[in-house]
Structure 1
Amino acid sequence: MKFVCYTDWNQLPESANALFLQAEKDSLFFSRPWFENVATALNDDETMALACVVAGSKVMAILPLMKSAGNIGYALKHRYTPLYSLLLAKDDQQQVLACLVEGLHQLPLEALLLEPVADKDGHLEGLQGSMQAAGFGCDRLFRFYNWFLRVQGQSYAEYMAARPAKLRNTISRKKRKLEREHGYDIHLFSGDDVPHKMPDYYAVYSASWKANEQYAGFVDTMVARFSKAGWSRLAILYIKEQPVAAQLWFVGHGKASIFRLAYDKAWKPYSPGSILTSFLMEYVIDTDKVEEIDFLTGNDAYKQDWMSDRRERFALSCVKSVKPAGWYERFVASLKRILKKQ
């Protein structure tokens, strides 16, 4: 068993695919297509490092990292990353973690900053414990809230019956008003059809209250990768063939992730966003049969109407503590300043 740090995807042994396939069952944002896409979006001064433990020909652990100027290793992440974790095989976990930490200790890094991470993540809890045993000082810092829904076998009708009356009444009233005054159609695209309909998504986005999509290249390549795997769901509400609301969701392994949503602000009085959300909720609950629906990031008040629970996401910092007294506290303070700038 040995520690290896790869800097290119072509260097990664083929056996790593099994680890990615295992990890994507927990989250599509732990999948190989996701991390490969993140790696293509690195800045010129950033480099990828896949910190791995390899036993024979089998990859036992992957900690996807990136490094820029300075002596901090960061999670391989993008601004749109909602969740991050260590990929870890089920066998010999304590030995694998010990090997990983020993290798990380030898890297020319003073600290690791891994984010955003779940409060309860057994892999990262194990990593944190092993790093602390090796002399690292570790801390968790709050990053953001995450609203989600446990479907618990409900049908869409049962789900909606449990929503606030104001939300249910608004959707029913606005549907009738929009149909009566203008008429509308909703089209759902999946698979290879999704990339071809992204221009309509961007048309809605540019007419919305949001700024233009500054990461269009990242989104397009991600949609292409996820659509190839069958994970993409793009719903668009049209009025007289004009797209006025669009939502991009990802669905895989029993979970639906609400990735991006927008509507043309000129049609706000008709609540096209809520109409489209209710349509997609019905589809992923009754057709995709998901077990969980995830709003990913943000504590917006409206998300509470659609979801059932809220959890926290954190940044995990691990700092080498073999330094003069007071150095650790100053370094952690500098990490907190970094987080505030993001």
Structure 2
Amino acid sequence: MRLHPVTGGRLPDWCERFLAPVGAGDIFATRLWYDTTLAHALPPGTTPLLGCCAEDAALLPLLRGSHGGLRSLTTPYTLAWRPLPAQPTSSAALIACGASLGAALRFRAPARLEALAEDAPGLEDWLQGLRDAGIAVQRYRHFGNWHEALVPGAGWSGYMAARPPALRTTVRRKLDRARRDFRFEMLCEPGPALEAAIAGYLDVHAGSWKPAEPFPAFDPALMRGAAAVGALRLALLRDTAGKAVAAQYWLVSGGHAWLLKLAHVEASRAASPGTALTAMMIRHLIEEEAVQHLDFGRGDDAYKSLWVAARRQRMGLVLAHPGHPLGLLAIARRQIAGWIGR
């Protein structure tokens, strides 16, 4: 595997053949996602690298940490990470890609890859290549991801009929109040209106229960970039004075909609503006955009299971070689944990 440094806060042009188009339904494999991450969310002390595997059959967006170990180019915002093949590849090619990475990790500190989907096509072949190269592949649970594939033709009414009764009652009451007391606003395109909506989103976040963002420039930059390519849906509820009391933004691509962030102002909590806004947005996505799949992002927050019914596990990998002291230590720890757990 050859490693190429990334400079200038964006992927080089030669990466295009590895990247997914914005409209293909794989937003976390696009230039939009990686360029925004590189420019606004690089973890301190890391260096971005691009690993080219098996005669450039696949690209691995990576980071090198301050102690020299490799890790996936992922951040607290990442919902999915995977190797990026240049084109649909065979099982043998994927095994070769894994072996190429494995050869680069021999006698080196362990690598850590995060946010992998357990059911990603070709993943097991890729992992087999790593094992064939002598790398111990250790899986761990990274985060839960709540989502739902919508029933074709069911519409908003069918979607709501499948929700828990308590949520159906709450949504009906809160939507009636929201129509009286608040104004719904959704921004999709660049321009002054988007900038005002981003400012409203930031005001809501500042007045919410949420902690400060680790990378404050990331969300606004992603909204602007997504708006420029037609993938943004930024929604707000404003009170009669024009003040935003709830905000959330989604990315839409290829029939999929991902809820990246949501918040409401704590002072307006009694009116449940966040619940009303989520219902308004999902109804819009179903009725106006014929979205086929909803994704509520990272984590097992209790409210997510009310809106979407399925949970899947995102996993992490520690890739260790016994020829390095830290690799040997990682392997020994896993073995000891296995003995204790028996």
TM over 0.5: yes
Give the equivalent residue in structure 1 for 2:81: 84
Q: Does the 8 Å CA contact 1:48/1:67 hold for their aligned counterparts?
A: yes
- CA deviation after TM superposition for structure 1 residue 124, in Å: 2.9
Q: 2:186 aligns with which of 176, 184, 188?
A: 188
Q: Does the 8 Å CA contact 2:223/2:232 hold for their aligned counterparts?
A: yes
Q: Does the 8 Å CA contact 2:247/2:264 hold for their aligned counterparts?
A: yes
Give the equivalent residue in structure 1 for 2:145: 146
Q: Distance in 1 between matches of 2:11 and 2:243?
A: 46
Q: Does the 8 Å CA contact 2:320/2:331 hold for their aligned counterparts?
A: no
- CA deviation after TM superposition for structure 1 residue 26, in Å: 4.8
TM-score by length of 1: 0.87
Q: Does the 8 Å CA contact 2:184/2:237 hold for their aligned counterparts?
A: yes
SS at match of 1:259: strand
SS at match of 2:268: helix
Residues 191 and 123 from structure 1, CA distance in 2 versus in 1: closer, same or farther, beyond 3 angstroms? farther
Q: Does the 8 Å CA contact 2:257/2:295 hold for their aligned counterparts?
A: yes
SS at match of 2:57: strand
Residues 54 and 8 from structure 1, CA distance in 2 versus in 1: closer, same or farther, beyond 3 angstroms? farther
- CA deviation after TM superposition for structure 1 residue 74, in Å: 0.5
- CA deviation after TM superposition for structure 1 residue 199, in Å: 0.2
SS at match of 2:294: strand
1:232 aligns with 2:229: no
- CA deviation after TM superposition for structure 1 residue 320, in Å: 1.4
Identity within the alignment, %: 27
Structure 2 stretches lacking a partner, 5+ long: 336-342
Give the equivalent residue in structure 2 for 1:165: 165
Residues 243 and 285 from structure 1, CA distance in 2 versus in 1: closer, same or farther, beyond 3 angstroms? same
Q: Distance in 2 between matches of 1:160 and 1:315?
A: 34
Give the equivalent residue in structure 2 for 1:25: 24
Cα deviation code 1:35-80 (max 9, x no counterpart): 122222324521011001475xxx5311110011224211001111
Q: Does the 8 Å CA contact 2:5/2:49 hold for their aligned counterparts?
A: yes
Cα deviation code 1:92-125 (max 9, x no counterpart): 5523642563355236732221101111112432
Give the equivalent residue in structure 1 for 2:62: 65
- CA deviation after TM superposition for structure 1 residue 34, in Å: 1.0
SS at match of 1:289: coil
Give the equivalent residue in structure 2 for 1:265: 266
Residues 25 and 112 from structure 1, CA distance in 2 versus in 1: closer, same or farther, beyond 3 angstroms? farther
Give the equivalent residue in structure 1 for 2:221: 221
Q: Which amino acid aligns with 2:172?
A: S
Structure 1 stretches lacking a partner, 5+ long: 334-342
Q: What is the aligned residue count?
A: 327
Q: Distance in 2 between matches of 1:257 and 1:152?
A: 17
Q: Which moved more, 1:86-95 or 1:136-145?
A: 86-95
Give the equivalent residue in structure 2 for 1:338: none
Q: Does the 8 Å CA contact 2:25/2:253 hold for their aligned counterparts?
A: no
SS at match of 1:296: strand
Residues 278 and 109 from structure 1, CA distance in 2 versus in 1: closer, same or farther, beyond 3 angstroms? same
1:45 aligns with 2:40: no
SS at match of 1:83: coil
- Aligned CA-pair RMSD: 2.7
Residues 9 and 290 from structure 1, CA distance in 2 versus in 1: closer, same or farther, beyond 3 angstroms? farther
- CA deviation after TM superposition for structure 1 residue 15, in Å: 5.1
Residues 162 and 235 from structure 1, CA distance in 2 versus in 1: closer, same or farther, beyond 3 angstroms? same
Q: Distance in 2 between matches of 1:213 and 1:44?
A: 14
